[in-house]
Amino acid sequence: MFGPPGAGKGTQSQKLIEKYGLIHLSTGDLLRGEITQGTALGLEAKKLMDEGLLVPDAVVIGMISNKLDANKSAKGFIFDGFPRTVAQAAALDELLASKSSQISGMIALEVNDDELEHRLLLRGKDSGRADDANPGIIRKRIKEYNDKTAPVADFYKKQNKLKSINGIGSIDEIFGAITGVIAAY
Ligand code: B4P
């Protein structure tokens, strides 16, 4: 699942794992888990996340690799919010090839910046997430996305794996469009 911050990746992934029985790998959730546990990795990640910046590639690639190894019998995975840089995408391809596997497809949710800011500020009212509470930080996250993450779409487009979906509408409408794409995999 691909898209800018607040596009609905986490929301839709939750529904997809229920429908298809896949394993959900959200690097955002994994990082927040490290923060809650107070690990060294979590302390390092918190500083960057609170400022709206991406955490280093090596950190998230290591976390994903561990999770793949821990779920060897899974029938499939949904990567939510990963890969977020071209370096992460290349590392993921290599990692999956070493396990005789590959990405089936990338589903990109398209949502304009005004709607993203509105959704994240709304969530910030009760999520307790520092990165959702401040319009300046939200705009920085969107800039990080445009600078470092948007090029990941081209990486998968070149492999004919990119499918774009309108991420504005009701959660169920968007879910219907996504399951239509997945049916083709
Ligand atoms: P993430 O946890 O991945 O989260 P996100 O981008 O904020 O949100 P998402 O798109 O999942 O939106 P959601 O469904 O929740 O990242 C947080 C931070 O972690 C990053 O900034 C970065 O620092 C770090 N990080 C994570 N992965 C990384 C990586 N691979 N490399 C480096 N750093 C990494 O939806 C948002 C809100 O919209 C919710 O309130 C939801 O209810 C609402 N919503 C959803 N769908 C809607 C709809 N159709 N209509 C109206 N509202 C909707």
Look at residue 129 in the predicted model and tell me its pLDDT. Answer: 87
Whether residue 123 lies in the annotated active site: yes
Mean pLDDT to the nearest integer, 39-44: 94
Look at residue 128 in the predicted model and tell me its pLDDT. Answer: 86
Ligand 1 atom 36 nearest Cα: 6
Mean pLDDT to the nearest integer, 68-91: 95
* Closest listed residue to residue 23, CA positions, set 91, 95, 77: 77
Q: Say if residue 185's pLDDT is above 90.
A: no
φ/ψ of 31, rounded to 5, equals -65, -40
Mean pLDDT to the nearest integer, 48-72: 94
User: What percentage of residues in the chain have a pLDDT greater than 90?
Assistant: 94
Q: Which of 29, 118, 119 to mutate to test the pocket of ligand 1 (most atoms within 8 A of CB)?
A: 119
Ligand 1 neighbour 28 (Cβ under 6 A) = yes
Distance in angstroms (rounded) separating the CA atoms of residues 97 and 62 = 16
Mean pLDDT to the nearest integer, 2-18: 97
Indicate the SS3 state at residue 110.
Answer: strand
Contact 116/126 with Cβ under 8 angstroms? no
Mean pLDDT to the nearest integer, 12-39: 96
Task: Count Cα neighbours of 173 within 13 Å in the Cβ-side half-sphere.
Answer: 6
Look at residue 134 in the predicted model and tell me its pLDDT. Answer: 92
Mean per-residue pLDDT of the chain: 95
The Cα-based distances of 17 to 23, 127, 151 in angstroms read 7, 22, 26
Look at residue 58 in the predicted model and tell me its pLDDT. Answer: 94
Q: Say if residue 60's pLDDT is above 90.
A: yes
Distance in angstroms (rounded) separating the CA atoms of residues 76 and 29 = 18
Ligand 1 neighbour 46 (Cβ under 6 A) = no
How do residues 132-159 score in pLDDT, each as one tens digit?
Answer: 989 999 999 999 999 999 999 999 999 9
Confidence of residue 167 (pLDDT cuts 50, 70, 90): very high
Whether residue 125 lies in the annotated active site: no
CB atoms within 10 A of CB 43: 11
Q: How far is the CA of 12 from the centre of ligand 1 (A)?
A: 11
Distance in angstroms (rounded) separating the CA atoms of residues 58 and 16 = 27
Distance in angstroms (rounded) separating the CA atoms of residues 138 and 133 = 8
Ligand 1 neighbour 25 (Cβ under 6 A) = no
Contact 150/144 with Cβ under 8 angstroms? no
Whether residue 32 lies in the annotated active site: no
Look at residue 161 in the predicted model and tell me its pLDDT. Answer: 97
